[in-house]
Amino acid sequence: MQRCEDLGIANLKIIQDSELFCFGTDSVLLSDFARAKSSDTVVDLCTGGAVIPILMSAKTKAKKFYGMELQKCSFEFAKKNVEINSLDGRLEVICDDIKNVLNHFPCGSIDVVTCNPPYMSASAGFQNPHEPKAIARHEICTNLKGVIEAADAILKFGGHFYMVHRADRLCDCLFELRQHKLEPKRLAFIHPNPQKPPRLIMIEAMKGAEPNLKIEPPIYVNI
């Protein structure tokens, strides 16, 4: 079922379909965590309905956003969301596999990359029988390494990568980032409440930076 939701900022809205993967609190939090300057070009990988670049269009002054989405059904919603928010010219969506990212952006040309990737490995947990949701949640068409490789390929030296992921995959995230010369610079833990361990993490990494990791104050949100 399709529905149009108010994003609660700058009169922005988003059309979603409950039969597909709908955005959650993690995407909203990542749009707050990510930073972009007025001169920056931002690429959101695995963009879904493009909620992250749409929110960042109001929260930052970045001049240009791109969203890249593999699934045609989600890509069509992303195009509708660009249109209803009058973001034509500032936000462009691309339907393609992130493995082909260099077909769309020159190597080392992008200032900021964001991503809310599939969290679950292909063999972990219950896999939704509905393919669009399974692809969004499980590493079926891409995985953590693939996401970080795509970000590394297009980021400028000194560019920034922002990602949200499951807390229990923190070691995997840090390992892959360093393997690709993306140095973790900020790390935030997201807890359901102060008495419970974190469920999610957000990481900012910088291409070619020296080691110096800042741990942000914990974030408490009902997730």
pLDDT category of residue 141 using cuts at 50, 70 and 90: low
> For residue 100, is it within any domain?
yes
> For residue 18, is it within any domain?
no
Phi, psi of 135 (to 5 degrees): -65, -35
E strand spans, 123-223: 155-166, 182-191, 200-207, 214-215, 219-220
> For residue 9, is it within any domain?
no
Scan for tokens 């909620």, then name that residue. 51
Q: Which region among 17-21, 63-67, 157-161 has the lowest average model confidence (pLDDT)?
A: 17-21
Cα–Cα distance, 164 to 132 (Å, whole number)? 20
Query: Is the pLDDT assigned to residue 139 strictly greater than 80?
Result: no
> For residue 16, is it within any domain?
no
Which pLDDT does position 222 carry in this prediction?
Answer: 79
> Over the stretch 78-132, which tens digit does the pLDDT of each residue have?
999 999 999 999 999 999 999 999 999 999 999 999 999 987 554 444 444 444 5
pLDDT category of residue 207 using cuts at 50, 70 and 90: very high
Of 182 and 142, which is predicted with more confidence? 182
Cα–Cα distance, 62 to 111 (Å, whole number)? 10
Q: Which region among 4-13, 129-138, 195-204 has the lowest average model confidence (pLDDT)?
A: 129-138
Which pLDDT does position 19 carry in this prediction?
Answer: 72
Of 137 and 209, which is predicted with more confidence? 209
pLDDT category of residue 138 using cuts at 50, 70 and 90: very low
- Report the CATH number that the domain containing residue 83 is assigned in CATH: 3.40.50.150
> For residue 112, is it within any domain?
yes
Cα–Cα distance, 47 to 50 (Å, whole number)? 5
Span 49-62, mean pLDDT?
A: 97
User: Which DSSP symbol is given to 138?
Assistant: B
User: Which DSSP symbol is given to 212?
Assistant: -
Query: Is the pLDDT assigned to residue 211 strictly greater than 60?
Result: yes
Which pLDDT does position 32 carry in this prediction?
Answer: 98
> Residue 111: left (phi > 0), alpha (psi -120 to 50), or beta?
alpha
> For residue 187, is it within any domain?
yes
Q: Burial level of 145, CB count in 10 A (0-12/13-18/19+)? A: middle
Reported pTM: 0.90
Cα–Cα distance, 116 to 40 (Å, whole number)? 20
Which pLDDT does position 130 carry in this prediction?
Answer: 45
Give the domain range for residue 35. 23-220
> For residue 6, is it within any domain?
no
Average pLDDT, the chain: 90
Q: Burial level of 133, CB count in 10 A (0-12/13-18/19+)? A: middle
> Over the stretch 173-186, which tens digit does the pLDDT of each residue have?
999 999 999 999 99
Instruction: Judge whether 152 and 146 are in contact, CB under 8 Å.
Output: no
> For residue 52, is it within any domain?
yes
Q: How many domains does the chain divide into? A: 1
Instruction: Judge whether 84 and 15 are in contact, CB under 8 Å.
Output: yes
